Amino acid sequence: MADTKKLYIKTYGCQMNVYDSERMAEAMGGAGYETTESPDDADMILLNTCHIREKAAEKVYSELGRFKGLKAEKPDLKIGVAGCVAQAEGEEIMRRQPMVDLVVGPQAYHRLPEMEAKTQGGEKALDTDFPEEDKFERLKSRPKAKRGPTAFLTVQEGCDKFCAFCVVPYTRGAEVSRPVDRILTEARDLVERGVREITLLGQNVNAYHGAGPKGDMTLAGLIWELDKVDGLERIRFTTSHPNDMMDDLIEAHGTCGKLMPYLHLPVQSGSNKILKRMNRSHDRDSYLRLVERIRAARPDILLSGDFIVGFPEETEADFQDTMDLIEEVKYGQAFSFKYSARPGTPAAERPLVDDAEASDRLYRLQALITRQQRAIQDSMVGREVSVLFERPGRLAGQMVGKSEYLHAVHVADCDARTGDLARVRIVESGANSLAGILVDH
């Protein structure tokens, strides 16, 4: 029997890349690889890249540069680049870094074993196609090893929205939804292996329309099917677009006990002018009305959002519109960034806002979000929450988990175990987490 080879994967970016890396590891497991935590031990290094943030490609080249010495020491070491940077710059990566053996886009990683075999023969392998076959069906079954209590499950990929700042439609392709039966099979398999909470993933997850037994099913319909899975206690989903937040999904937040009261609903800006420039297809008022309807269905829901400051042509008045919207909504969490031009997107050719001004706006926005986040965390003191324990803490006898609102919670002198779901009374609010005492489990 051939010796087992070692695979090191470094993952950048979103939860979907985390999921993709898991599946790539499984695919390569069928080719005789097992994962390692150290690139020094690896027979193959794979960078699973993200193209969303500024200078993403340069960061990949910098990372590759760190492996030049290792490649010189181990000429048989195979180095690959996967993900969205690979999709966008496949041939350029091969040209600039000849030591790279393979480049594979996010829709073709089920072909990794064949590509790796090609590199063993001394050839380069490049695949950035959008193949017709379902990559999820082509991947080997997940091994039956025990898993932690939480897992990601991709149900939808791609985006048809073409926001002016975003590369996703070009790197991930058009919106595609996985069939309901395949998702349910994967969910049941995860539960059998110890998973109690599943987060459904998609670039535009609430646009889900997967084939079901009686025609296409919406995301709400899929959630209700998952609600029937014995042993699955919690369901989440991310990331959503406001235009696809349909009535049945809003209703599910108020009626489905397994759907957690947390919703990531990016708005990006509070200025109607900037939203139009972004091609977001919603405006400030429609977003606020949507938030009002969601909170009417589930009053205790915690909302998070995404914000871009310094978008081309953003004035101080436009920025104040965003700050006013944040004040009105009161977010429990948020992700905020200075605008960075992504090559090939419509906004990339527009004049940039002064960098110092954009930085100042980001600072002010993040300060407001931090105050709101801390206020919501402080309001949890004295309340009881449901905590799914994910791991032991740093201190002896401590356990750490997440509440239904996605707050990190740590409990001292705790006899709960990883995977337990327990009632916890919150007694203290910290900068980024809550402390509680066990009520029952």
Place domain 5-127 in its CATH homologous superfamily. Answer: Methylthiotransferase, N-terminal domain (3.40.50.12160)
- 414 appears as a binding residue in the annotation: no
Distance of alpha carbon 88 from alpha carbon 90, whole angstroms: 6
Q: What is the dihedral of CA 135, 194, 417, 261, to 10 degrees?
A: 60
Distance of alpha carbon 98 from alpha carbon 358, whole angstroms: 37
Exposure letters 406-430 (e unless 16+ CB within 10 A, then b): bbbbbbeebebeebbbbebebeebe
pLDDT for 128 equals 77
Cβ-proximal residues to 215 (8 Å cutoff; 6+ apart), any chain: none
Per residue of the chain (441 residues), what is the pLDDT tens digit? 457 899 999 988 777 788 888 888 888 888 889 999 999 999 999 998 877 665 667 788 888 888 988 998 998 999 999 888 888 787 888 888 889 999 988 878 888 889 999 998 888 988 877 655 555 665 555 555 678 899 999 999 889 999 999 888 887 788 999 999 999 999 999 999 999 999 999 989 999 999 998 899 999 999 999 999 999 999 999 999 999 999 999 999 999 999 999 999 999 999 999 999 999 999 999 999 999 999 999 999 999 999 999 999 999 999 999 999 999 999 999 999 999 888 889 999 899 999 999 999 999 999 999 999 999 999 999 999 999 999 999 888 899 999 999 999 999 999 999 999 999 999 999 988 999 999 976
Q: Which fold has domain 138-379?
A: pyruvate-formate lyase- activating enzyme (3.80.30)
Distance of alpha carbon 388 from alpha carbon 406, whole angstroms: 10
Phi, psi of 196 (to 5 degrees): -115, -15
Domain with residues 384-440, CATH architecture: Beta Barrel (2.40)
Structure tokens, 75:
């000429």
What letter does residue 230 receive in the DSSP assignment? Answer: T
Decide if 277 contacts 245 (C-beta within 8 A): no
The residues spanned by each domain of the chain are: 5-127, 138-379, 384-440
Kindly report the pTM of this predicted structure. 0.81
pLDDT for 1 equals 40
- 166 appears as a binding residue in the annotation: yes
Q: What is the CA radius of gyration of the chain?
A: 23
Q: Nearest to residue 44, comparing CAs of 80, 17, 18, 68?
A: 80
- 256 appears as a binding residue in the annotation: no
- Name the residue with tokens 């010796």: 3
Q: Nearest to residue 220, comparing CAs of 243, 237, 233, 203?
A: 237
Any alpha helices (H) in 330-386, and if so which ranges? 355-379
Helix (H, G, I), strand (E, B) or coil at 221: helix
Residue 255 preceded by cis peptide, ω within 30? no
